[in-house]
């Protein structure tokens, strides 16, 4: 019996992400993905039940990676100021370093059929547990979680997507961080 070639699966994922990025969801056909991954179209169905499942599986995994990265960049011992900076900067850094994955997740997020299949809550739990801790310690002001998420992550994502609109992205990022510190810290 032949054993599964996980390198193959990895190639399939990468091919899919790359294609969606370059040609949109419409452009990423199974045949194209297979060709780019150097496998037969039929092989894809060894690893995924169908195209939708493949999309949502890869989408989930990518979304998870983003949260993991952020998690690794924060530390309960940080000061409030540092904490906010770490959150925003890590989110931005991830988008920068993993441009393809970030862009892929953003694109999938806006697709109604796909976004339903992802459970953000699991990934973000650790981050929000920490935020709650800072709020209990009266370091962070207490706003509703959803609004905290909205102001912490939506603008930085917006920034990452519209990088070209900024004269100096580092300066823009620093400004955004300082704004959020003003807003959220006591």
- State yes or no: residue 172 binds its own copies (CB under 8 A): yes
Q: Which tokens sit at 74?
A: 């924060």
Distance CA 104, CA 30 (A): 17
Q: Which tokens sit at 161?
A: 């997507």
Q: Which is nearer to its own copies, 76 or 182 (CB)?
A: 182
Q: Which is nearer to its own copies, 86 or 174 (CB)?
A: 174
Q: Which is nearer to its own copies, 21 or 73 (CB)?
A: 21
Please name the residues in contact with 23: beta carbons below 8 A apart, sequence gap of 6 or more: none
- State yes or no: residue 24 binds DNA (CB under 7 A): no
Helices (H), 98-168: 99-109, 112-115, 120-136, 145-161
List the interface residues with its own copies, window 105-124 (CB under 8 A): 106-107, 109-114
- State yes or no: residue 51 binds DNA (CB under 7 A): yes
149 binds, among DNA, its own copies, none (CB under 5 to 8 A by kind): its own copies
39 binds, among its own copies, DNA, none (CB under 5 to 8 A by kind): DNA
Q: Which is nearer to its own copies, 3 or 147 (CB)?
A: 147
Q: Which tokens sit at 88?
A: 């925003």
Site string for its own copies, 36-75 (x = CB under 8 A): ----------------------------------------
- State yes or no: residue 24 binds its own copies (CB under 8 A): yes
- State yes or no: residue 99 binds its own copies (CB under 8 A): no
CA-CA distances (angstroms) from residue 127 to 1, 19, 92, 148, 160?
A: 44, 31, 16, 11, 20
Distance CA 14, CA 176 (A): 32
Distance CA 141, CA 185 (A): 6
- State yes or no: residue 143 binds its own copies (CB under 8 A): yes
**How many chain residues interact with its own copies (CB under 8 A)?**
40
- State yes or no: residue 179 binds its own copies (CB under 8 A): yes
- State yes or no: residue 147 binds its own copies (CB under 8 A): yes
Distance CA 88, CA 100 (A): 19
């Amino acid at each position: 019996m032949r054993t599964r070639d996980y390198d193959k699966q990895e190639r399939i994922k990468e091919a899919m992400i790359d294609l969606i990025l370059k040609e949109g969801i419409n452009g990423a056909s199974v045949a194209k993905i297979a060709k780019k991954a150097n496998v037969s179209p039929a092989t894809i169905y060894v690893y995924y039940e169908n195209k939708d499942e493949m999309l949502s599986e890869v989408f989930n995994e990518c979304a998870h990676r983003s949260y993991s990265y952020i998690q690794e960049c924060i530390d309960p011992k940080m000061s409030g100021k540092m904490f906010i900076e770490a959150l925003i900067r890590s989110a931005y850094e991830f988008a920068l370093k993993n441009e393809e994955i970030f862009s892929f997740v953003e694109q999938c997020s806006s697709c109604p059929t796909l976004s339903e299949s992802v459970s953000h809550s699991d990934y973000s739990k650790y981050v929000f547990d920490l935020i709650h801790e800072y709020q209990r310690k009266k370091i962070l002001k207490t706003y509703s979680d959803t609004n905290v998420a909205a102001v912490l992550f939506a603008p930085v994502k917006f920034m990452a997507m519209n990088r070209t609109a900024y004269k100096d992205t580092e300066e823009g990022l620093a400004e955004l961080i300082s704004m959020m510190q003003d807003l959220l810290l006591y």
